[in-house]
Structure 1
Amino acid sequence: MIGAMDHFVRPSGSPPVNGYSHAVAFTGAMVAVSGQVPVDADGNLVGKEDAEAQVRQVYANLTTALEAAGSGLEHVVKLTVYLTDLDDLGAFRKVRDEYQDAENPPACSLVRVAGLVHPDFRVEVDALAVAPSAG
């Protein structure tokens, strides 16, 4: 059984949003997922010059990590997105919208960074999610 989540997409008096909630309240155990990068299961970079391909691989890795912990993308309460180029934001949003529920999106922070651990990485995403409850 997964804990409860309440999404506050745009509370009265808050600015407009684009694919995220201003706040998410939840109960239950939490899963913390380390930053996921555009590397496949064999350790190979995916999409060297292709932001969309990199974001797809990051979401695949997020899915794998969450499922290993008995959770899933639908249970994510907070994402932190790191982009090296804000021109990649459109590609991120396109892929994000394919994977996440538009009615109940997680809270999200976006950070433009000068670089990531590998010079060809364009995106990294970490997540907090609700985990299955015992009993």
Structure 2
Amino acid sequence: MDHFIRPTGSPPVNGYSHAVAFTGTMVAVSGQVPVDGDGNTVGKGDAEAQVRQVYANLSTALKAAGSGLEHVVKLTVYLTDLDDLPAFRKVRDEHQDPARPPASSLVKVAGLVHPDFRIEIDALAVAPGAE
């Protein structure tokens, strides 16, 4: 993967790359929500707990596909409240190498599929060594 964090002439970034080029098998991960393996909503009213669960779910899905969080090339983040952005960034920065951040989009939405969900994240990644 080649990360183009801030190409000349691009605006400043905060934890993402303007572009990421990669080769290999692409893994598309559906939107992950703050639900545990038993189907229970995690962290009702607690943005950080919800982001942590979403990252755990992303990690599980990526591992099943032969990839991992370190191989994510693009995130799309959906927040119902932009006041949750600091919680997202805190957890994101625990899981991503700041020297190699994925490309990213952030969307503020009116709501998600369940009214207690504050965040949903989908991802594109590469599966290293996959054929």
The residue aligned with 1:121 is: 117
CA distance in 2 between counterparts of 1:37 and 1:48 reads 12
Gaps of 5+ in 1: none
CA distance in 1 between counterparts of 2:66 and 2:86 reads 30
Out of 67, 71, 85, the position equivalent to 1:71 is: 67
The residue aligned with 1:106 is: 102
Deviation of the 1:134 alpha carbon? 4.0
The residue aligned with 2:3 is: 7
Whether 2:54 is the aligned partner of 1:53: answer: no
Matched residue of 1:34: which SS? Answer: strand
Whether 2:19 is the aligned partner of 1:23: answer: yes
Aligned residues: 131
TM-score normalised over the length of structure 1: 0.95
Q: Tell me the percent identity.
A: 85
Deviation of the 1:133 alpha carbon? 3.2
Deviations 1:81-134 (A, max 9, x none): 000000000000000000111000000000000000000000000000001334
Counterpart of 2:78, as a letter, is Y
CA distance in 1 between counterparts of 2:16 and 2:101 reads 5
The structure 1 segments of at least 4 consecutive aligned residues displaced by more than 6 Å after TM superposition are none
TM-score normalised over the length of structure 2: 0.98
CA distance in 2 between counterparts of 1:118 and 1:71 reads 28
Whether 2:127 is the aligned partner of 1:95: answer: no
